[in-house]
Amino acid sequence: MKIALAQLNYHIGNFELNTQKNISYLQQAKAEGADLVVFSELSICGYSPQDLLDYSSFMEACEHALSTIAEHCDSIACIIGMPIKNEVLDGKDFYNVAHFIENKKIKATVKKALLPTYDVFDEYRYFEPGETFKCIEFKGKKIALTICEDLWNINDNPMYVSCPMDTLIKESPDLMINIAASPFSYCHDEERKSILSDNCKKYNLPLFYVNAVGAQTEIVFDGGSLVFNNDGAIMAEMPYFKEALGVFDVEELEISATFPPQIIAESDISQIHKALIVGIQDYFSKSGFKKAVLGLSGGIDSAIVCALAAEALGPEHVHAILMPSKYSSDHSIKDAIDLVQNLGCLHQIIPIEKASEAFEISLADSFRGLAPNLTEENIQARCRGIILMALSNKFGYILLNTSNKSEVSVGYGTLYGDMCGAMGVIGDVYKTQVFELAKYINRDREIIPINTIVKPPSAELRPDQKDSDSLPEYDLLDKLLMAHIEHKKDRKQLIEMGFDKDLVARILKLVNIAEFKRFQAPPILRVSPKAYGMGRRVPIVSKYI
């Protein structure tokens, strides 16, 4: 028996595109001699449809797409994911299921049992967990079919009280198939491989695993579908961050034949780079936009975002706006111009000095007798935000935000100013990682000017300003933030790790009081295991931290 794994990039609610794509790959699998083609979780509608499930027309479109795809399952069977209605009044209104279709008919329906409701997941909001499990018989084989999280209850700290495979194994299946929509983070691929391999070892079965690929707003799916033998060894690893079809012979797997070569492991920064490119591309293509605008300061953050956008969209679709203030240095303007020349993108210089002076004149009576402070700095940042939003409105550009995770964490940014944007490109990338990204982008030639990389970071909103005037050095700050955000270390634990207690108190206070800013920030592309946005939810008015 030959099994095809189809890892595809779906568009939530775009049933025409998704159906066409599923049928196209089904036909391709058929042409390559596959007996069964396997699509990813919720592949009919895209993962995750969230509150779109509440609309009856959405569910009707799911059913229509399914019937259209089933008509092409004549000489080939398929496994495909979608939501279905729960016909029982008690419980949630929907199930997350995998249909097994053979000879144009649904022969079996598997309901997802373990519903993740943590980090970026919120499945129990919508879905009722499946409670009965039965193997599928096909071509003389018994298939234990599960959906994503159903295989993840195997570690030392299980989150669920049951495990579907513990029931399915009693029927003596020949192999496991798991369909997934498993989001990317730069450390998740190794964890995913370990979990899946442990399932093979525990149940002594081979596993065919298919993952989605592409971005849905802030969540990126990296693909990397896998085939394991019953010893838990990886026999095949499909490409990351791109659509692909792999066809594998079950009999060859059973005798440990040589499968296609494994993909060489990439560095975290390389993976982050690819994820950000896919995230930008899909945000634009799926929302129907082509052109981006951003503020380009001559600093490293905006330079990175400009370079990523140019690579993702083409430099002709990127408009960089230089907005010098009276405090901007000549070298910052030169660095910005050097960058756009290296990239070949569009640029324009729009000074903000007169605009900020106009606000200061308007507020002169209100501010009489008061010394300039952060207020005047923020006015400059908001002048830039007004200019960028005006260009976005007038020309239909998508504004890209350039704040990094270190800044977002401690609130080092101005609401309605440099925090403007439709997407936070590097809001889940710490400043120290931004420097690594710059080196990676420059791996073949100088794109980011060297001076941009080596000069001390500065907002340039007052004379001789440097980030280090307000914040610890980024090497120290990022270590503390990562321990607190990603690794969930509290004040006491951070001090025990060796961080200065006064520094810990100061930084945690900044993180806490900046929550209201993050609540209003643009969606941020998720590349870490704990990103701001839907993956980290804390009350704005909490006092605990």
Longest Cα pair distance anywhere in the chain, in angstroms?
87
Q: Which of 112, 274, 286, 405 is flagged as catalytic?
A: 112
286 included as an active-site residue: no
3-class SS at 76? coil
Phi-psi region of 332 (alpha: psi -120 to 50; beta: other; left: phi over 0): alpha
**Which residue ranges are tagged as binding site for L-glutamine?**
118, 182
237 included as an active-site residue: no
Element (H, E) at 248: strand 244-249
Indicate the burial class of 172 (C-beta count within 10 angstroms; 0-12, 13-18, 19 or more).
Answer: exposed
**Which residue ranges are tagged as binding site for deamido-NAD(+)?**
378, 407, 517
- What is the DSSP code string of 264-298? PPPPHHHHHHHHHHHHHHHHHHHHT---EEEE--S
**Which residue ranges are tagged as binding site for ATP?**
295-302, 402
CA distances from 509 to 431, 531, 544 (A): 20, 19, 10
Q: Cα–Cα distance between 426 and 524 in angstroms, integer?
A: 7
112 included as an active-site residue: yes
- What is the DSSP code string of 365-396? TTTTT----HHHHHHHHHHHHHHHHHHHHHHT
Q: Which of 45, 62, 148, 306 is flagged as catalytic?
A: 148
- What residues does 96 pair with on adjacent strands? 83
- The torsion angles phi and psi of 480, rounded to 5 degrees, stand at -65, -45
**Which residue ranges are tagged as binding site?**
118, 182, 295-302, 378, 402, 407, 517
Contacts of 16 (CB under 8 A, 6+ apart): none
Residue 465 structure tokens = 């300003």
Q: Cα–Cα distance between 171 and 142 in angstroms, integer?
A: 8
Q: Which of 41, 102, 377, 515 is flagged as catalytic?
A: 41
Residues forming the active site: 41, 112, 148
